[in-house]
Amino acid sequence: MRGGTVLILGLLLGALSATSAGAADPQEAYHEGNVLYQNGDFAGAVAAYEEVLAGGVTAPELEYNLANAYLKENQVGKAILHYRRALRLDPTSESARANIDYARSLTQDVKPEDSRNARWTWIRRFRLGPQTAAALLFLAFTGFCTMAGLRIWGWKRKAWTGVLQGTLGGLALLLAAALVFEWTEMEGHAEGVILASEVEVHAGPADTYTVSFRLHEGTEAELLRESEGWVEIRVSDRLQGWVRKDTLAAV
Amino acid sequence: MNRAALLCLMFLVALAGRAVAAEVTASVDKNRVQTGGQIVLTLRVEGGGGDYPNADFTSLQKDFEVMSAGTTQRTSIVNGRMTSSRERRYILVPKTAGQFTLGPLDIRVGGETHTTNPITITVTSAPPPPAPPPLTEGEAGNTTGSDALFVQATVDNPHPYQYEQVTLRIRLYTRYQLLDNPGYTEPTTQGFWKENLPAPDLRVETVDGVRYNVLETMLALFPTKPGELTIGEAVLDCSVNDGSQSRDAFSFFQRPSGHRVVLRTKPVTINVQPLPPPPAGFQGAVGEYRLQVRADTHEVVQGEPVTVDVSLSGTGHLRTVGEIELPPLPDFRSYPSEENQEITRNRGLIGGEITKQFVLVPLKAGKLTVPPLRVVTFSPSQKEYRVLEGPPIELEVTPGSGMEARGSRGDIELLGRDIRFIELGDPSFRPLGDRWSRALRWLALLPLPTLALGGAWFWNRRMEAQGANAVWIRRRNAGKTARSILRAAQGKDKAESAAEAARALRTFVADRYDLPAAGLTPDVIAGHLTADGKDAQPVLAFLDRCDAVRFAPQETATGGDFLKEAENHLALLEEK
């Protein structure tokens, strides 16, 4: 019994200690980028933020700030790319949502309505992000278990304990569903952003295929498959084709 | 006569002219003239080829100003004989008095040069300028020009105070017909603020029995510094018809050309008085003003706005008034509006009205008073400072909901659009591509409440099962009960300790084997201990010794620590 307690405590401590990541250098470069940004040196800020990314670490704040700096440098495509990455790390960021809306208004292409994408638009407003959803799930489930324990220990006769236990159980189920949604949103399909100023979208993975339409910097698309330096993209129900891989970047 | 007939007639005249030799004459309209007056010199050609005469006046320009005054052509038929003549006129204005001879002049007509007879002109000195029209009281100024055309510059107040209005009037008196609006060059007004005033209509005035047409322009000047200030000369460039131009049957072909007269006023100097030493609160308002202050209500709810309208109106330059401000109002929050100025120019006086609104929000309930608003002005007519004071505003403020008025509501105007600013806090970095580790850590904790719940359930079941067996509980607590007896016996003498040690052991055996504590015999003890696999003999021996010490005090010398020994026996009995 005593050995089991020690093991659980060890797991808990390990889980908590593992949340502190990162070294001193990324922080330093990140804050240097912030200072450069505040001084109006947006190109310098981009370089500083990119240096942090090159170190193999990221953070929603870093992606957001980098996107801001790119936008100030009039690189709309990269700005949208990094706003998307920031939102993927933290879907609750209001600032990233506001700024990506602004950046999208600067793109040349007006993206047509996509039925597949529109299906879940309403629920995306309530996204919590995987970490928050998981934490809330843990709390709701712990509450559910606590109420169950209290009822086992003799609180069964109090009706409200049953209501509370049911509510917490339902909430835990909803949060579990939210986590599944987060998983499908983040891992279910790949998305990318056009970085080249203008891209010809071909009917097949080679220049010899018919040019179906053209896209411009900043347009977002779903990445379907890849073939020898070409990527098949889907912009909307009707707009689908192949572009060179080096003309876009995956979110 | 229609135009075709006229052209035919002119053609015939031209043909006839070629047949007759040209005759050139020069004449003047008068041989005596005053300086500043003018003589009309007419060069006339009779016959010839239809060319107009031209002359070189270089020799005359020393004594005269020579200005062209137009040409005329005349045709006449007498007794069937047609003659024609052409005239060119010049206006000569003598520069000095004396006797002068015009010519003989060399006149060129159609390539031929003719010589005229000399003409003698006598120029007399001009009489003194006409008596200027009487100036009204307080006016100062000067008059220049001739008796038929002169200009007068006056100021209504030659000794104004600093910032007091001085009205400059430039009046043109003429007996001539003005052929055009005179060209007007304003005087220089260095040291003054200047405001234009509307010009009065053309009027007729009689000066010394002579009727003049009078044109007037006005300028309001405000001296900005004390001392002598000079208003420069104004220039009037007039084109007048003085009646010297002859008219004939065909004059309707000609536009009256008149002659040009340039008049200049003399500079006017005024002496500006400094303002007396100002009282506190004087910001520079010079003029005749009145102040009105009123509130839109006198009963208000705390936090609701009251609008106080302030109006300062009168004559004077509004620029001198300065900022209109309420006195400090600790019980109100004050929101002043922008000042609104409306300048008026009534009857030659610059003035107007300054209006300003203050929105006051009372910060507390009760009877509140807005102190009188004061504006200090200098009245040039009274030659003293005046303190204009509005009435105090009494307000009955009732307690409100605590919500304070925040001015008029309206949509927020979006002035510009840009992205939101960067995040400045310390981020928590994670490896690239790691999007789930933090969520997984939380998910890894999910078994904990499950395990805890299972443990609680199991424990509860166990406790429920155990709680239902009183024998089991007595048995479980046997050692605890016996030891509590031993602890209570600490510090007693040996006999008492032996008695308590025996009681602890017997209690233990009774609890352990669910026996009644009273009447527990050595045989019963031995039977249960043996049945439980324990060695009963040491326990019985110990109990005997305890009884011996208890009932035979002589044995107290031997026996050792009974309590400790009893503890040892308990430990042996508890062993499984």
Give residue A171's pLDDT.
95
| Cα separation, A128 vs A183, whole angstroms | 12
Q: Which of A231-235, A245-249, B166-170, B243-247 has the lowest mean pLDDT?
A: B243-247
- How many residues are recorded in chain A? 251
| Cα separation, B20 vs B74, whole angstroms | 16
Are residues B427 and A59, on separate chains, in Cβ contact within 8 Å? Answer: yes
Which of A38-47, A122-131, A142-151 has the highest average model confidence (pLDDT)? A38-47
Select from A11, A26, A135 the Cβ nearest to the Cβ of B429.
A26
Select from B424, B429, B437 the Cβ nearest to the Cβ of A34.
B424
| Cα separation, A30 vs A45, whole angstroms | 9
A-B Cβ pairs (cutoff 8 Å, strict):
125
Mutate to test the interface with A, among B418, B421, B426, B441 (most CBs of A within 10 A): B441
Give residue B16's pLDDT.
45
Residues 6 or more apart in contact with residue B182 via CB below 8 angstroms: B172, B215, B236, B237, B238, B239
The C-alpha torsion from B93 through B98 and B99 to B105, rounded to 10°, is: -40
Rounded to an integer, what is the distance from CA A108 to the centroid of its chain?
A: 24
Give residue A86's pLDDT.
93
Please name which of B374, B196, B178 lies closest in space to residue B260, comparing C-alpha atoms.
B178
- A246 pLDDT higher than 60: yes
Q: Which of A88-97, B32-41, B397-406, B438-447 has the lowest mean pLDDT?
A: B397-406
Residue B163, Ramachandran bin (φ over 0: left; ψ between -120 and 50: alpha; else beta): left
A157 vs B156: which has the higher pLDDT? B156
Give residue A100's pLDDT.
94
- The proportion of chain B whose per-residue pLDDT surpasses 70, expressed as a percent, equals 83
Give residue A247's pLDDT.
95
Q: Which of A99-113, B101-115, B249-263 has the lowest mean pLDDT?
A: B249-263
Are residues B439 and A153, on separate chains, in Cβ contact within 8 Å? Answer: no
B414/A contact by beta carbon, under 8 A: no
**Please, which residues 147-206 of chain B have a Cβ atom closer than 8 Å to chain A?**
none
Give residue B107's pLDDT.
83
Q: How far is B470 from chain A (nearest CA, A)?
A: 21
Contact call for residues A140 and A171 (beta carbons, < 8 A): yes
B87 vs B74: which has the higher pLDDT? B87
Q: How far is A251 from chain B (nearest CA, A)?
A: 10
Name the pLDDT band for B11 (thresholds 50, 70, 90).
very low
Report chain B's mean pLDDT, rounded to a whole number.
80
Rounded to an integer, what is the distance from CA B477 to the centroid of its chain?
A: 92
Contact call for residues B109 and B24 (beta carbons, < 8 A): yes
Residue B521, Ramachandran bin (φ over 0: left; ψ between -120 and 50: alpha; else beta): beta
Contact call for residues B154 and B168 (beta carbons, < 8 A): yes
B444/A contact by beta carbon, under 8 A: yes
Neighbours of B412 (CB within 10 A): 5
Are residues B430 and A22, on separate chains, in Cβ contact within 8 Å? Answer: yes
Are residues B442 and A135, on separate chains, in Cβ contact within 8 Å? Answer: yes
Give residue B79's pLDDT.
66
pLDDT in tens, B20-64: 567 888 888 888 877 666 788 888 888 766 777 888 777 777 788
In terms of CA atoms, which chain A residue is nearest residue B456?
A149
Report chain A's mean pLDDT, rounded to a whole number.
85
Residues 6 or more apart in contact with residue B521 via CB below 8 angstroms: none
What's the mean pLDDT in B254-283? 82
| 3-state helix vs strand vs coil in chain B, percent to 5 | 25, 40, 40
Select from A22, A34, A99 the Cβ nearest to the Cβ of B428.
A22
B465 vs B165: which has the higher pLDDT? B165
What's the mean pLDDT in A57-77? 95
Rounded to an integer, what is the distance from CA B226 to the centroid of its chain?
A: 31
pTM (2 d.p.):
0.39
Contact call for residues B392 and B370 (beta carbons, < 8 A): yes
Are residues B449 and A22, on separate chains, in Cβ contact within 8 Å? Answer: no
Are residues B427 and A141, on separate chains, in Cβ contact within 8 Å? Answer: no
DSSP character at residue B6: H
Give residue B421's pLDDT.
94
In terms of CA atoms, which chain B residue is nearest residue A136?
B442
Are residues B439 and A130, on separate chains, in Cβ contact within 8 Å? Answer: yes
| Cα separation, B262 vs B239, whole angstroms | 9
Give residue A224's pLDDT.
93
| Cα separation, B126 vs B133, whole angstroms | 19
Neighbours of B459 (CB within 10 A): 13
| Beta-strand pair B98-102/B119-124 | antiparallel
| Cα separation, B64 vs B46, whole angstroms | 27
Are residues B417 and A71, on separate chains, in Cβ contact within 8 Å? Answer: no
| Cα separation, A97 vs B187, whole angstroms | 67
B416/A contact by beta carbon, under 8 A: no
Give residue B64's pLDDT.
80
Name the pLDDT band for B152 (thresholds 50, 70, 90).
confident
What values do phi and psi take at A64, rounded to 5?
-65, -45
| Residues paired with residue B342 on neighbouring β-strands, in sequence order | B353
Give residue B54's pLDDT.
80
Give residue B36's pLDDT.
62
Q: How far is B426 from chain A (nearest CA, A)?
A: 7
Give residue B191's pLDDT.
85
Contact call for residues A90 and A96 (beta carbons, < 8 A): yes
pLDDT in tens, B157-193: 889 998 899 999 898 888 887 877 888 888 888 888 8
Select from A53, A95, A141 the Cβ nearest to the Cβ of B446.
A141
A172/B contact by beta carbon, under 8 A: no
Which of A14-28, A203-217, B276-290, B562-576 has the highest average model confidence (pLDDT)? A203-217
What's the mean pLDDT in B424-438? 85
Name the pLDDT band for B485 (thresholds 50, 70, 90).
very high
ipTM of the complex: 0.76
Please name which of A195, A180, A196, A193 lies closest in space to residue A222, comparing C-alpha atoms.
A193
B205 vs A114: which has the higher pLDDT? B205
What values do phi and psi take at B331, rounded to 5?
-95, 5
A246 vs B33: which has the higher pLDDT? A246
A15/B contact by beta carbon, under 8 A: yes
Sign of CA dihedral B482, B484, B488, B491: positive
| Cα separation, B193 vs B219, whole angstroms | 10
Q: Which of A189-203, B177-191, B213-227 has the lowest mean pLDDT?
A: B177-191
Residue indicated by tokens 């990318």: A192
Are residues A138 and B427, on separate chains, in Cβ contact within 8 Å? Answer: no
What's the mean pLDDT in B122-135? 61
Q: How far is B421 from chain A (nearest CA, A)?
A: 8
Name the pLDDT band for A92 (thresholds 50, 70, 90).
confident
- B74 pLDDT higher than 60: yes
- B144 pLDDT higher than 80: no
B111 vs B329: which has the higher pLDDT? B329
In the chain, the amino acid numbered B527 is G
B493 exposed, middle or buried (CB, 10 Å; 0-12, 13-18, 19+)? Answer: exposed
pLDDT in tens, B77-108: 666 666 777 888 887 877 788 888 887 888 88
- B553 pLDDT higher than 80: no
Contact call for residues B317 and B344 (beta carbons, < 8 A): no
Distances, alpha carbon A202 to alpha carbons A216, A239, B41, in Å: 14, 11, 98
B258 vs B349: which has the higher pLDDT? B349
What's the mean pLDDT in B438-446? 89
What's the mean pLDDT in B245-270? 66
